[in-house]
């Protein structure tokens, strides 16, 4: 079994180091890959400075496209997907996410914030299928079309595929964790516009998957 962590990152220079510090401490992870999705800031250099393999995409391709670049750059059979803007991530959170897959027929796990912040805990209670923290077996990526163009629809495509095909999956609580919300990153107006765009990308993938 080979485990690779893939961290898609778009303009995350000030946030990604926290995530890298936690991932680097997880001994069962064989490879860490940051995919810089056309950032205009120093995300790529922060990853390289931390000794991480980083792939730099010239043009922004969206989260799904960035993750698939990472998937195609490794032969790992187990992929750990983590957002670059997590707050409170520990090595234990990551091992908890991987553990249910070891020696079982579980093919996907998904992490759910709890006891972090009211807003982000609530968002994941209402829509657990959106979470970006996952461990996914490679076969699942191979079965799914459209992931390269799915942008923020990637997680919903994964969840729908697993449900439709009765593939064993497990939700894992991630206590004391949260992330930086779009409105906090981009300001109220731009953040909310980005949120609407994300919902549209999700609707589009539902239509074609
Ligand atoms: O075009 C994009 C948009 C987002 N991301 C990354 O995907 C993850 C989740 O994105 P974001 O935090 O914006 O989504 P949210 O959690 O707010 O829905 C983060 O690591 C982003 O840097 C990416 O690689 N390309
Ligand atoms: O939880 C959600 O409602 C959205 C938006 O999060 P925020 O409202 O910015 O905290 O975030 C998730 O959904 C995206 C689409 O599935 C994922 O790509 C993100 O990783 C995830 O955090």
State how many domains the chain has.
1
Ligand 2 mean position, distance from CA 90 (Å): 19
Average pLDDT over residues 175-181: 97
The protein residue whose alpha carbon is closest to atom 10 in ligand 1 is 83
Is the pLDDT at 135 greater than 90? The verdict is yes
Whether 159 has a pLDDT exceeding 90, the answer reads yes
pLDDT tens for each residue of 19-57: 999 999 999 999 999 999 999 999 999 999 999 999 999
The verdict on residue 193 lying in a domain is no
Interval 63-76 mean pLDDT: 98
**Can you tell me the ipTM of this complex?**
0.96
The confidence score (pLDDT) of residue 69 equals 98
pLDDT of residue 63: 98
The domain of 13 spans 3-180
Q: Is residue 189 part of a domain?
A: no
Q: Given this model, what pLDDT does residue 163 score?
A: 97
- Which one of the ligands is nearest to 40 CA? 1
In this structure, the residue with its CA closest to atom 1 of ligand 2 is 123
63 in a structural domain: yes
- Domain assignment present for residue 206? The answer is no
Closest CA to 80 of 22, 127, 160, 13: 22
Is the pLDDT confidence value at 209 over 90? no
Residue with tokens 């939700």: 171
Q: Strands (DSSP E) along 10-133, which ranges? A: 31-37, 53-57, 78-81, 86-87, 108-114
The answer to whether position 71 is within a domain reads yes
* CATH number, residue 96: 3.90.550.10
- In the reported structure, the alpha carbon of residue 105 is separated from the centroid of ligand 2 by a whole-number distance in angstroms of 27
pLDDT digits (tens, 9 = 90+) for 108-117: 999 999 999 9
Ligand 1 atom 6 nearest Cα: 9
Residue 190 lies in a domain: no
Give yes or no for residue 1 CB within 6 A of ligand 2. Answer: no
Owner of token pair 């250099």: 45
16 found inside a domain:
yes
CB distance 37 to ligand 2 below 6 Å = no
Domain presence at residue 49: yes
**pLDDT number for residue 200:** 97
Query: Average model confidence (pLDDT) for the chain?
Result: 97
Q: What would the mean pLDDT of 88-116 be, rounded to a whole number?
A: 97
Counting ligands in written order, which one lies closest to the CA of residue 83? 1
């Amino acid at each position: 079994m080979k485990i690779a962590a893939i961290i898609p990152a778009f303009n995350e220079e000030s946030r990604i180091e926290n995530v890298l510090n936690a991932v680097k401490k997880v001994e069962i992870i064989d490879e860490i890959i940051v995919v810089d999705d056309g950032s205009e800031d120093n995300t790529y250099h922060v990853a390289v400075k931390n000794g991480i393999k980083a792939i730099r995409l010239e043009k922004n391709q969206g989260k799904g496209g960035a993750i698939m670049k990472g998937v195609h750059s490794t032969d790992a059979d187990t992929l750990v997907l983590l957002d670059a803007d997590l707050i409170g991530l520990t090595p234990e959170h990551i091992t908890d996410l991987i553990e249910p897959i070891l020696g079982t027929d579980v093919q996907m796990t998904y992490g759910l914030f709890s006891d972090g912040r009211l807003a982000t805990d609530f968002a994941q209670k209402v829509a657990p299928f959106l979470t970006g923290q996952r461990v996914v077996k490679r076969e699942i990526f191979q079965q799914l079309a459209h992931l390269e163009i799915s942008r923020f629809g990637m997680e919903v495509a994964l969840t729908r595929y697993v449900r439709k095909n009765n593939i064993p999956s497990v939700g894992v609580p991630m206590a004391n964790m949260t992330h930086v919300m779009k409105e906090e990153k981009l300001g109220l107006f731009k953040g909310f516009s980005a949120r609407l765009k994300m919902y549209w990308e999700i609707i589009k993938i539902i239509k074609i998957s």
